[in-house]
Chains A and B, each alone.
Chain A
Amino acid sequence: DIQMTQSPSSLSASVGDTVTITCRASQSISDYLNWYQQKPGKAPNLLIYATSALHSGVPARFRGSGSGTDFTLTISSLQPEDFATYYCQQTYNTPRIFGQGTKLEI
């Protein structure tokens, strides 16, 4: 199975900051990497798919990049509603493993 290592596990930031979350795959997954945002008590929401494609309705301050084994999610100009937990997921093959999550706190 492909392992996904996400870092950091938690992150403190302020409104207006720019933050970066990283996700590393244990082997190449091409660009089959997605990012989700989850708020407490809610289902995850898709932010970015195929490494860098912005899902419909997602603000442009969310940006994904990377390829192969190393990927990043960058959130610019943090807004109050961005404080949540973020997960990466590889869909290169099955099982479609998620990263451990990054909790972004104020």
Chain B
Amino acid sequence: QVQLQQWGARLLKPSETLSLTCTVYGGSFSGHSWTWIRQPPRKGLEWIGEVNDSGNTNYDPSLKSRVTMSVDTSKNQFSLKLTSLTAADTAMYYCARYRTFEGVADDWGQGTLVTVSS
């Protein structure tokens, strides 16, 4: 089991860029993929995308034009950037480890509530 700690700006304005970073503690960073999932208030879970330890990415098609994910293996960190924010991007954002072989996100960060408001 690993611990994931995430941080980033929590109150942003429309058109700004969301930047979140997740640090992985207590386990191997290499050999796994890392994923971001969000949850708008009072709604369900939405998969944003994933990045592996080589930096290869998969994104949800509806967000693909605005999303960038990256990894920094030297720091055991991975990051999410989401550009051109609107109020619809207001959500709790979670980072998680995605175990590629088993096909499951098993360890999650605590979540960061990001609010987009003018």
Which residues does A use to contact B, with CB under 8 Å? 1, 32, 34, 36, 38, 43-46, 49-50, 53, 55-56, 87, 89, 91-92, 94-101
The size of the chain B interface, using a CB distance under 8 A, is 23
Contact present for A95 and B106 (CB under 8 Å): no
Residues of A within 8 A of B16 (CB): none
Closest to A35 in B: B104
Q: For residue B72, give the distance in angstroms from its CB to the closest CB of chain A.
A: 23
Residues of B within 8 A of A100 (CB): 44
Given contacts A44-B45, A89-B45, A95-B61, whether A34 and B109 have CB atoms under 8 Å apart is: no
Closest to A96 in B: B47
Residues of A within 8 A of B60 (CB): 94-95
Contact present for A94 and B58 (CB under 8 Å): yes
**Quick one: which of A38, A43, A49, A94 contacts B104, CB cutoff 8 A?**
A49
Contact present for B103 and A49 (CB under 8 Å): yes
Which residues does B use to contact A, with CB under 8 Å? 1, 35, 37, 44-47, 49-50, 58-61, 94, 102-106, 108-111
Contact present for B108 and A50 (CB under 8 Å): no
Closest to A31 in B: B103
Contact present for A49 and B45 (CB under 8 Å): no
Residues of A within 8 A of B108 (CB): 43-45
Contact present for B105 and A46 (CB under 8 Å): yes
- Most chain B CB within 10 A, of A32, A49, A94, A96, is at A96
A82 to B82, CA, bound (A): 35
Residues of B within 8 A of A38 (CB): 45
Q: For residue B82, give the distance in angstroms from its CB to the closest CB of chain A.
A: 15
A60 to B49, CA, bound (A): 31
Given contacts A43-B94, A94-B58, A95-B60, whether A34 and B45 have CB atoms under 8 Å apart is: no
Contact present for B102 and A50 (CB under 8 Å): yes
Given contacts A32-B103, A101-B44, whether A43 and B110 have CB atoms under 8 Å apart is: yes
